[in-house]
Chain A
């Protein structure tokens, strides 16, 4: 298992890659166990989740209010979500047969299991709880009941069946390092003039 995992790491980032994910989201012959259960596999587009849940009817305004708050929170404290090792987050609201559903998609560099407790802390700190508390079936004691929180997330996770990466397996930190290096080089060239 060690060599398989390190093999993934050494994949060539210059070669775009696609990966079929089996139905159910796991490669049954190599499911890694986390503290709170099996871990969804890393793919060329890193780790991620897509949580889809029905919202409590009439609560849409809370979601828009929340969006404004998150924008402000990140502007005021850019590191607020750092622990989650994110690339991107996307939030959607959409309707099916007159009922409103919420979709929350994230792409990040670590499996969710590892930093679960930190994520729960961030939920409170960033006000993310305000949207989850408006989803049907979200556990009321989530702040103190990590297992119930995780069960909700797992129950509403819709694993992808195909993932693609233009620069597979590259972490956000590596990308930021590369950009910093580029900036440092430009600066160096400026200094040489």
Chain B
């Protein structure tokens, strides 16, 4: 086990980001195993590995990723012995983990949309596309494939669109995105200054050495887990009207409002980090990858005078102020959905937000830890009565403290700027594993055997 990364077997989404401005997620259910496998056999041909993606990305118009829930693996006909080798949190699914994740109140799975809370959710097809026209083409192709496969049903779908302006990635609140992503050892990618050394691939890809040693406890058989990963899907509605009113309420001038927005995030909306630009926005800094991630907290901002201890960025990546940081990193992919709400326009009640994936080798150690401790622990950094101001579970009773000399500023009754509208845990198999799953109904399964850890 371990060794060189098998780029030709790893689904491209793990290692590369498609240059997509449009896309669609289709959530599927398999009413019979043979139909599900027929769908998988056909669509697996469209799923690019990291290496084919690299070769063809400039010509490509659309990209396909497929992943399965635990119920989905069973629905394809995977046997019980193999199903039992998957980790508990994945087997139980995101709905069963809701309370621990903070998916309560308005965020409760009972209120989720699109059938995502249902045990019938079996698979996702992620269709990313260069343009809306390319997406339509991809969607039509997929529609006719589904129609050809007996018992395959689309539970729901979500259309994705980048929000204007299109020259850089940002969410509906206007925050620049994709600024801090871990780099994997062996990919040749060079981390930007401040991003830390490349991490062992096993932190994100099953079957490789991770930051604590050789891989252990992998789902069986090996062919199924090798080069796979897990994805936590989150559909987060962003309440843009409420967010903008909040800024107006707490900042007298546009400059003060921008500063409040920056304090909630830890960066100006331009992406410029507060540690490096504490008083005034610096858009050139925000756009410069050689500089926009080059900071720490312990030496540069121990008390949070620049970046509040409870801000979103400081929670999601506490950098040098957390233990075992390299065991908690995550890869983020995803896109925005819903129409842009122009500046100055009143809230129109239309749902808009982010539909994102957190990719990691261990949901419990990486995604669930971040959600349970960093995002929702009231006492993170001894804050006492705070959760993540952007994605934490907020019910209007909590506060947000902004360290400031001589006396900190405390905002009480923080509203919820986001609501979880759906989510799921998916297993993202490697390409060989996709073919293995597609061939499950065949009489002899090549190379199948259950391996156990020696005890």
- Known A144-B216, A147-B88; judge A5-B324 contact (CB<8 A): no
Tell me which of B143-151, B174-182, B340-348, B366-374 binds A.
Answer: B366-374
B382 touches A174 (CB 8 A): yes
Instruction: Identify A140's interface contact among B369, B382, B455, CB under 8 A.
Output: B455
Ranked nearest first, the 6 interchain pairs of A and B with the lowest CB-CB distance are: A144-B216, A83-B323, A33-B100, A33-B99, A6-B385, A114-B373
**Interface check A9, CB cutoff 8 A:** yes
Which residue of chain B lies nearest to A171 when distances are taken between CB atoms in the complex?
B382
**Interface check A157, CB cutoff 8 A:** no
Q: Which size class do A's interface residues fall under?
A: 20 to 34
**Interface check B440, CB cutoff 8 A:** no
- Residues of A contacting B364 with CB < 8 Å? 35-36, 146
Main SS at interface, chain A: helix
Q: Which size class do B's interface residues fall under?
A: 20 to 34
**Interface check B60, CB cutoff 8 A:** no
A109 touches B379 (CB 8 A): yes
Residue of A3, A35, A82, A173 most packed against chain B (CB within 10 A): A35
Q: Mark B379-397, 1 if CB is under 8 A from A, else 0.
A: 1001011000000010101
- Known A114-B377, A140-B455; judge A9-B372 contact (CB<8 A): no
* Distance (whole angstroms) from the CB of A102 to the closest CB of chain B: 23
A144 touches B217 (CB 8 A): yes
* Distance (whole angstroms) from the CB of B367 to the closest CB of chain A: 10
- Residues of B contacting A114 with CB < 8 Å? 369, 372-373, 377
Apart from A114-B373, A117-B365, A144-B213: 5 A-B pairs, beta carbons within 8 A: A6-B378, A35-B368, A82-B323, A117-B369, A144-B216
Q: Measuring CB to CB, which residues of chain B are less than 8 angstroms from any residue of chain A?
A: 88-89, 99-100, 104, 212-213, 216-217, 323-324, 327, 364-365, 368-369, 372-373, 377-379, 382, 384-385, 393, 395, 397-398, 453, 455
Instruction: Identify A9's interface contact among B89, B324, B378, CB under 8 A.
Output: B378
Q: Mark A18-59, 1 if CB is under 8 A from B, else 0.
A: 000000000000001111100000000000000000000000
Give complex CA distance A141, B213 in Å: 14
* Distance (whole angstroms) from the CB of B254 to the closest CB of chain A: 33
Which residue of chain A lies nearest to B99 when distances are taken between CB atoms in the complex?
A33
Give complex CA distance A114, B369 in Å: 7
- Residues of A contacting B327 with CB < 8 Å? 117, 121
Give complex CA distance A5, B398 in Å: 11
- Residues of A contacting B216 with CB < 8 Å? 141, 144-145
A2 touches B453 (CB 8 A): no
* Distance (whole angstroms) from the CB of B29 to the closest CB of chain A: 28
- Known A114-B372, A117-B365; judge A3-B397 contact (CB<8 A): yes
* Distance (whole angstroms) from the CB of B1 to the closest CB of chain A: 13
Give complex CA distance A118, B324 in Å: 7
Give complex CA distance A1, B364 in Å: 23
